[in-house]
Amino acid sequence: MRDPLHIELKSVSREYKIGGTRQQVLQRVDIAIQRGEFVSIVGPSGSGKSTFAHILGGLTTPTDGKLLVNGEELSRARDRKLAHYRNKQVGFIFQNFGLLPHVTAVENAVLPLVLAKVKRRDRLEQAAHALHLVGLGNRLDSQAHQLSGGERQRVAIARAIVMQPEVIIADEPTGSLDSHQGDAIADLLQGLHEQFKTTLILVTHNPEIAARADRTLHMFDGRLTEVTHVVS
């Protein structure tokens, strides 16, 4: 994978209009995430964790403040540059997997390469390689609906890493799984982070999984209330 990025939020706020009122989801958040760092984000439901992660990944733009990637501001970038960051430099993993249920594992994993217009032969080879990396080399032709929850999340991880991103953002990747499958997915993500030195940003309600990170960021009412350095 390519060299990971340095990401910084400067005084970032985000609000949404709901009916006739405005709801403040993030309030003047400042944080720098170093190249290759493993950061977990914890906090109660509705505290702003997912919005925070989505701004880091360019899925959501701040109402105020700046998203800086290697010193370049992307929060006010043109759509093409922001799309390039999202599609080629960041890999996203979500709680609900986000797979197409009636196509195969390899057809799901290959989708980012199709969007990037990679040649068909190369993209199938790269998608198969990504599925081998996540332990699904024997399920390439299985349709997503035929897989267990843990296997579906592995396909989603393969899809996230198939473009060799510098940053992986995982939003509650174990939230739909039982404890055994959740631990296995956490092991896999941690192993990929260690193997490829990719920046890993992990939103989780699980304190044991959060404790695996280099740092744990605590979100409460849209504020970054504490930064804990985890010493192994």
pLDDT in tens, 132-185: 999 999 999 999 999 999 999 999 999 999 999 999 999 999 999 999 999 999
pLDDT at 108 over 70: yes
Pick among 1.10.3720.10, 2.40.30.40, 3.40.50.300, 3.30.1330.10: CATH of 7-229: 3.40.50.300
CA angle 228, 231, 232 (to 5 degrees): 140
| Domain spans in the chain, listed from the N-terminal domain onward | 7-229
The DSSP 8-state label assigned to residue 88 in this structure reads I
Tokens standing for residue 97: 């997997």
Distances (CA, A) of 64 to 28, 74, 201: 8, 13, 22
What is the side-by-side strand order in the sheet with 199-203? 90-94, 167-171, 199-203, 38-42, 215-220, 223-229
| Parallel, antiparallel or unpaired: strands 167-171 and 199-203 | parallel
Identify the pLDDT of residue 78.
76
In percent, the amount of the chain with pLDDT more than 90 equals 78
Distances (CA, A) of 107 to 42, 94, 138, 155, 187: 33, 18, 14, 10, 25
